[in-house]
Amino acid sequence: MHEFKELTPYRKAFELMLADLGEIQDVEEVSLKDALGRVLAEDIASPIDSPPFNRSAVDGYAVRAEDTFPAREYSPVTLRVMDEIVAGEESKAKVEPGTAVKLMTGAKLPEGANAVVMQEMAGREGNLIRVLRPVAPGQNVAFAGEDVRKGETVLEKGQILRPQDLALLKSLGFKTVRVRRKPRVGIIITGDELIEEFDERALNEGKILESNSVLLWGLVRQYFGEPVFYGVIRDMMEDIREAIEKARAENDLVLVTGGSAFGDRDLAHRAVRLLFHGTTIKPGRPIGYGERVFVMSGYPAAVFAQFHLFVKYALAKLAGARFKPVTVNAELMDKVPSQLGRYEFVKVWYEDGKARPIRKRGSGIISALVRSNGYIAIPENSEGYLKGDRVEVILY
Amino acid sequence: MHEFKELTPYRKAFELMLADLGEIQDVEEVSLKDALGRVLAEDIASPIDSPPFNRSAVDGYAVRAEDTFPAREYSPVTLRVMDEIVAGEESKAKVEPGTAVKLMTGAKLPEGANAVVMQEMAGREGNLIRVLRPVAPGQNVAFAGEDVRKGETVLEKGQILRPQDLALLKSLGFKTVRVRRKPRVGIIITGDELIEEFDERALNEGKILESNSVLLWGLVRQYFGEPVFYGVIRDMMEDIREAIEKARAENDLVLVTGGSAFGDRDLAHRAVRLLFHGTTIKPGRPIGYGERVFVMSGYPAAVFAQFHLFVKYALAKLAGARFKPVTVNAELMDKVPSQLGRYEFVKVWYEDGKARPIRKRGSGIISALVRSNGYIAIPENSEGYLKGDRVEVILY
């Protein structure tokens, strides 16, 4: 067994990986409903002013502001109501001096009017209103283009589309939207020690139930990708090479677990020309990347750290997504020592401004992943944090 | 037009609504891959110890700890290597006094051994190793059941299943998992002023492009539900009543937009016996709830606030989900005044520990939703916050 001659610092490995990957250029035109969670392929300029006309921002009476200038509570101005309209209808009436038109929020301001008196400020008697206070020109009016101007960029390329983004597109008249094709990600699991179904005797002999396939499948789906599973491959050089070649031909990215270290059975890393192999991250040190292939650890907790430190950013780049994980500032509830020279991925449970480190060690420990909802990263030049320190938690 | 006689305080309306809804009891058994994002229907107890045996936590040599007690760097202990095993295989060798077995991380500890010497601490020469430092009994060993004990609850009912939860289930031998049926949510849009396709002339006459359907469709999908769209219904009492009856018969919850206020055309609220109608929230005051039906506003920004303040919690309860939105503590970048007596929903952009209020007013303004990624809630008894205040942001 050999060891890594030199560990590539995390940041350097990250940059090498990111620089090697190109954005997918394929575009799909999908209905707005099918676009939820997809990545916008182009800037969207509004084809219209929104609102398309001056409209009332309140329920009340459209008036000529000048008519109301003398109004006082002890000396109201009386105006004649010429028409009543609701949102979605248009009044043919013109507001002449001494008159008003009743309207609801959102209704188009009738010709002649330049302000709206709120309903509460106008006592109604038959077809007359008594206005108690003056309104200024423009008061209670939403002007054409006030929300969005025609030609204005309302959504930028790379936006991960949320319900409100789709609603904006619909309100501007769009029925479909152009999004990037999802990155296809081939997943290959290697390891003679793995079994895929429960078998007590095999487990007692030292076999391990394989779980990286479903871990990576879920993570890829969570981060913009479309996973494709290529099965569990035994530790035979030719089989592994063949599986990687096939997966690479059919996908934008390939994730191989197992065989990234330097044991006799660690073969996967020999099947790919790697840009780096072995980094300062802990857990997950033996990760390698090259030719659109990540060679990852076999231990789920190491795979999980490798995914969050490398693969999710690879997927964001391939997908062309404007992606930044949610980070929160938190008070650390316990000390976290760290080894100098290691970029440590420390799982925490974040809640109500506090981050509690998850203590379980061992890179095979999945229960610690389950008990966490984020991590703190401790760079190579730090020996860790003390209880009570303010730390940045990256949520997952 | 009438006004609300009395506004129900937000908290009280919320409790009335939540108490009225019952958890869905229907359970579906799905494959692990299909369970991503679903809600676990039962507690999961581990059927096995994990690891199922004592295993090595490092690459190194299984030894009898007692043999190493005299070891010093200037006076190493020499042991004979009897066997070499990899993870997933079992050594038939027994570790007798004076011997060792080479093994890799995860391999089963052979009989006789009670500790592991890390590879770096053992100089190898032929089939001999020179141990430089003593190891204690149990050192570098992961004991059976250390991660998960047989019978231990590893996941609780109501968990929203993440990739790591599915991996844990797979590592314990599960192939399927029992999850709650997703709440089905009928969506009904009402309003004579609405058009569904771009029509410049209609827009100039005061019509509005309908966008609540896709807004609610996306929000329901984001929060555990399965949306069903019942179309845009004109403001005719019988049509609205019929649509609500049909949607209620076919769904667990019904969302109706438009017609929640007291205008002559606001009909939807008359079709349902409401537990409350009109609350202190702003925007979104006219919301009503009763008989598994939310009567919501017509304005998208009001609908959005109503969804986040009420409907997402209704969905979590129906789905039986252990749900708590992500909240972060942030520095407010600008003052936010608030009206006493109103529970204000203030949209913000949260980034790097700072929250910037989104200034656009008007409940029809969708672009403000697009520019936000969370909100702060200002309760009825507060007049708002000052620039620089620490506030809690609820992310969406």
- Omega cis (within 30) before B357: no
- Residue in chain B lying closest to A213 (CA): B167
What value, to the nearest 5°, has the Cα angle with vertex B225 and ends B297 and B245? 60
Question: How many residues would you count in chain A?
Answer: 396
Q: Give the three-state DSSP class for B126.
A: coil
pTM above 0.80, yes or no: yes
What is the Cα–Cα distance from B181 to B179, expressed in whole angstroms? Answer: 7
**CB spacing of B170 vs A326 below 8 angstroms:** no
Based on the fold, state whether residues A348 and A229 are members of the same structural domain: no
Confidence grade of residue B86 (pLDDT, cut at 50, 70, 90): confident
Based on the fold, state whether residues B343 and B221 are members of the same structural domain: no
What is the structure's pLDDT at B87? 66
- In angstroms and rounded to an integer, the radius of gyration of the C-alpha atoms of chain B is 31
Share of chain A above pLDDT 90, in %: 78
Which residue, A319, A348, A383, sits at the end of a domain?
A: A319
pLDDT average, residue stretch B64-78 = 95
**B257, B366, B373, best to mutate vs chain A, most A CBs in 10 Å:** B366
- Residue in chain A lying closest to B31 (CA): A214
Based on the fold, state whether residues A250 and A292 are members of the same structural domain: yes
**B31, B54, B154, B164, best to mutate vs chain A, most A CBs in 10 Å:** B164
Based on the fold, state whether residues B198 and B294 are members of the same structural domain: yes
- State the CATH number of the domain containing residue B303: 3.40.980.10
Confidence grade of residue B363 (pLDDT, cut at 50, 70, 90): very low
Which of A167, A304, A362 is the closest to B164 by Cβ? A304
The answer on pLDDT for A378 being more than 60 is yes
| Residues B199, B203, B207, B208, CA torsion sign | positive
Residue A209 falls inside a structural domain: yes
Q: Is A239 on the interface with B (CB under 8 A)?
A: no
Nearest-Cα distance to chain A for B171, in Å, is 5
Question: How many residues would you count in chain B?
Answer: 396
Chain B residues close to A304, C-beta within 8 Å: 164
Tens of pLDDT, residues B372-385 = 999 999 999 999 99
Per the listing, tokens 């006004």 go with B3
Which of B1, B221, B362 is the closest to A57 by Cβ? B362
Based on the fold, state whether residues A247 and A138 are members of the same structural domain: no
Nearest-Cα distance to chain A for B258, in Å, is 11
Which of B32, B106, B119 is the closest to A364 by Cβ? B106
Based on the fold, state whether residues B155 and B37 are members of the same structural domain: yes
Give me the DSSP letters along A214-256. Answer: HHHHHHHHHTT-EEEEEEEE-S-HHHHHHHHHHHHHH-SEEEE
**CB spacing of B59 vs A263 below 8 angstroms:** yes
Chain B residues close to A138, C-beta within 8 Å: none
- Alpha helix stretches (DSSP H) within B101-199: 163-171
Chain A residues close to B140, C-beta within 8 Å: none
C-alpha B275: how far from chain center: 29
Q: Return the structure tokens found at A132.
A: 């108690």
- Alpha helix stretches (DSSP H) within chain B: 10-20, 65-68, 163-171, 200-204, 212-222, 237-250, 300-306, 312-319, 367-370
pLDDT average, residue stretch B326-355 = 95
Which residue, A319, A339, A360, sits at the end of a domain?
A: A319
**CB spacing of B263 vs A59 below 8 angstroms:** yes
Residue B5 falls inside a structural domain: no
Tens of pLDDT, residues B152-163 = 999 999 999 999
Which of B119, B215, B328 is the closest to A164 by Cβ? B215
Chain B residues close to A89, C-beta within 8 Å: 192-193, 205-206
- State the CATH number of the domain containing residue B64: 2.170.190.11
Closest CA to B355 of B386, B331, B326: B331
Residue B347 falls inside a structural domain: yes
**CB spacing of B215 vs A362 below 8 angstroms:** no
What's the mean per-residue pLDDT of chain B? 93
Q: Return the structure tokens found at A6.
A: 């030199």
- Residue in chain A lying closest to B364 (CA): A106
Quote the crossing angle between the two packed helices B312-319 and B10-20, to the nearest 10°.
Answer: 30
Domain count, chain A: 4
What's the mean per-residue pLDDT of chain A? 93
What is the Cα–Cα distance from B42 to B320, expressed in whole angstroms? Answer: 10
**CB spacing of A366 vs B171 below 8 angstroms:** yes
What is the structure's pLDDT at A1? 39
Residue B226 CB contacts under 8 Å (≥ 6 apart), including other chains:
B182, B183, B184, B185, B220
Which residue, A87, A115, A142, sits at the end of a domain?
A: A142
Q: Is A176 on the interface with B (CB under 8 A)?
A: no
Residue A1 falls inside a structural domain: no
Residue ranges with strand state E in A77-215: 77-84, 99-103, 115-118, 122-125, 128-131, 141-142, 153-155, 176-180, 184-190, 194-195, 208-209
Nearest-Cα distance to chain B for A206, in Å, is 5
Based on the fold, state whether residues A172 and A32 are members of the same structural domain: yes
Based on the fold, state whether residues A108 and A228 are members of the same structural domain: no
Q: Is A339 on the interface with B (CB under 8 A)?
A: no
- State the CATH number of the domain containing residue A390: 2.40.340.10
Give me the DSSP letters along A150-183. Answer: TT-EEE-TT-B--HHHHHHHHHTT-SEEEEEPPP
Answer for the pair B49, B149: CB distance below 8 angstroms, yes or no.
Answer: yes
Confidence grade of residue B204 (pLDDT, cut at 50, 70, 90): confident
Q: Is A204 on the interface with B (CB under 8 A)?
A: yes
The answer on pLDDT for B50 being more than 90 is no
Residue A274 CB contacts under 8 Å (≥ 6 apart), including other chains:
A288, A289, A290, A295
Q: Is B257 on the interface with A (CB under 8 A)?
A: no
Q: Give the three-state DSSP class for B170.
A: helix
What is the structure's pLDDT at B142? 86
Q: Which residue range(s) make up the domain with A207?
A: 10-25+182-319
Closest CA to B209 of B302, B305, B298, B307: B298
Which of A1, A57, A367 is the closest to B168 by Cβ? A367
Based on the fold, state whether residues A81 and A167 are members of the same structural domain: no
DSSP letter, residue A39? B
Those of residues 33-62 in B touching chain A at CB distance below 8 A are 33, 36, 47-48, 50-53, 55, 57, 59
Find residue B390's DSSP bridge partners.
B331
Residue B72 falls inside a structural domain: yes
Residue B372 falls inside a structural domain: yes
| Residues B332, B297, B188, B274, CA torsion sign | positive
Closest CA to A224 of A85, A320, A134: A320
Pairing outcome for strands B343-351 and B354-357: antiparallel
**CB spacing of A206 vs B1 below 8 angstroms:** no
Based on the fold, state whether residues B314 and B338 are members of the same structural domain: no
**CB spacing of B175 vs A163 below 8 angstroms:** no
Element (H, E) at B79: strand B77-84
Nearest-Cα distance to chain B for A138, in Å, is 14
Based on the fold, state whether residues A226 and A277 are members of the same structural domain: yes
- State the CATH number of the domain containing residue A42: 3.90.105.10
The answer on pLDDT for A2 being more than 80 is no
What is the structure's pLDDT at B1? 40
Residue A5 falls inside a structural domain: no
Residue A4 falls inside a structural domain: no
Based on the fold, state whether residues B37 and B165 are members of the same structural domain: yes
What is the Cα–Cα distance from B193 to B201, expressed in whole angstroms? Answer: 13
